[in-house]
Structure 1
Amino acid sequence: MKTTQFVIIGLGRFGSSIGRELIELGNEVLGVDRDEEKVQELSTVLTHTVIADATEEEVLRSIGARNFDCGVVAIGDDIQASILATILLKELGVKKVVAKAVSELHGRVLERIGVDRVIYPERDMGIRVAHQLVSPNLLDYIELSKQYTIAELAVPACLTGKSLAEVNPRGRFGCSVVAINKLKGIVIAPTADDVLAEKDVMVVIGTNDQIEEFQESIGSR
């Protein structure tokens, strides 16, 4: 499989976290930041690091930004620098550009200039944590759209030993169990005969309301 090459602009907590994980997943990563200390910290972690101002077109040309498969603009609170770097990556022809937004307005501007994906890390993490706090069986929560959600639900004692046919989340609530993470491995597209066990984790997809009803049902037993 061809290694994917990423250029990450901004090596703060968000950018460095993405960079470390991309390296762990076997990709090549060039990290760019104006802060020498941040660059030095990641110099032995990422494939390459550069101390540079990514809001200057000649700088991005000189590091060969246009040759990367994906550009990630992870600049923190400097919205102007974020927008300028994003525009330059798009103009240079980077195949895919992903950018961090610190506000809804910032995100709308990024969308207008053609970003492929806008990420709101603080907002999205806040939503996920809030759902985890109010739902004891909810381990993770990802909003796919305004209507649809994918969630990881720990199997409670009341469902232990029951098959999916008996639980019947699709028939009763309209949501579907698309995988079951078991101690011995993950079961993709489980059948109605698959039996739930203690410490299993169900991966459920459905509308927000459907999953909420399912959560409340298993949490109240």
Structure 2
Amino acid sequence: MKKEFAVIGLGRFGGSICRTLAEEGMEVMAIDKDENRVNEYSMIASHAVVGDSTDEKVLKGLGIRNFDHVIVAIGDDIQASILTTIILKELGVKNITAKALNDYHEKVLIKIGADHVVHPERDMGKRIAHNMISNSVLDYLELSDEHSIVEIVANERIDGNSIIDLDIRAKYGITIVAIKRKDEIIVSPQANEVINKKDILIVIGADTDINRFEKKALQ
């Protein structure tokens, strides 16, 4: 069965989520106070509604508690974001993801019951910064404050070496969970798998260990 999503706030972040979910074939209700934004997504979302999410009657009338997942993507109005999240929680919404504008906002959202809190600007900034400072890093996904999954392109320094030759886990404390090689993806590669130049290594580990691997093995 298709999951049903509601996206509240159709700015850059909420609009992007709404568009992507719709492209993936999900049922999406798009909600915003701004009629122009709602009109923009009327042909993208399954339903597009002009409404004030801080009004409990409006959310009740939309049957918001019946959605599998509600995303609170309200832009720069922290008060509206918090109030909307409280109302959603009180109405019994199963899964709430909320956008935080800063660390204080995140703490409040977690305290009032948001199931997931995201910092799109901060997280994207970290990914871009990591990509800029290293020629090897293609993508970066933060798992926690100290651990990440990173896509690293293999260069000539490790070309022709097997995973066991490099002894990556013992030397650096990181794990290669997959290797992308042209159109092939090798999941959980064996220790005798030979790494080729331009292979994309998907590694997981502590940020300090990943950085050490980049500097010592690849530069």
Q: Same fold by TM-score, threshold 0.5 exceeded?
A: yes
Q: How does 1:126-205 map to 2 (within 5 A)?
A: 126-205=125-204
Corresponding residue number in structure 1 for 2:34: 35
1:219 CA displacement: 2.9
1:162 CA displacement: 2.3
Distance 1:80 1:64 in 2: 23
Counterpart residue identity of residue 64, structure 1: G
Corresponding residue number in structure 1 for 2:97: 98
Secondary structure, counterpart of 1:26 in structure 2 = coil
Counterpart residue identity of residue 204, structure 1: V
* TM-score after normalising by structure 1: 0.95
Q: Does 1:10 align with 2:5?
A: no
Secondary structure, counterpart of 1:158 in structure 2 = coil
Secondary structure, counterpart of 1:95 in structure 2 = coil
1:78 CA displacement: 0.6
Secondary structure, counterpart of 1:54 in structure 2 = coil
What is the RMSD of the two structures over their aligned residues, measured on CA atoms? 1.2
Distance 1:43 1:156 in 2: 47
Determine what percentage of the aligned residue pairs are the same residue: 46
Distance 1:162 1:184 in 2: 21
Unaligned runs of 5+ in 1: none
Distance 2:200 2:164 in 1: 17
* TM-score after normalising by structure 2: 0.96
Counterpart residue identity of residue 79, structure 2: Q
1:166 CA displacement: 1.8
Secondary structure, counterpart of 2:81 in structure 1 = helix
Counterpart residue identity of residue 164, structure 1: I
Counterpart residue identity of residue 84, structure 1: L
Unaligned runs of 5+ in 2: none
Distance 2:191 2:115 in 1: 38
How many residues end up aligned between the 2 structures? 219
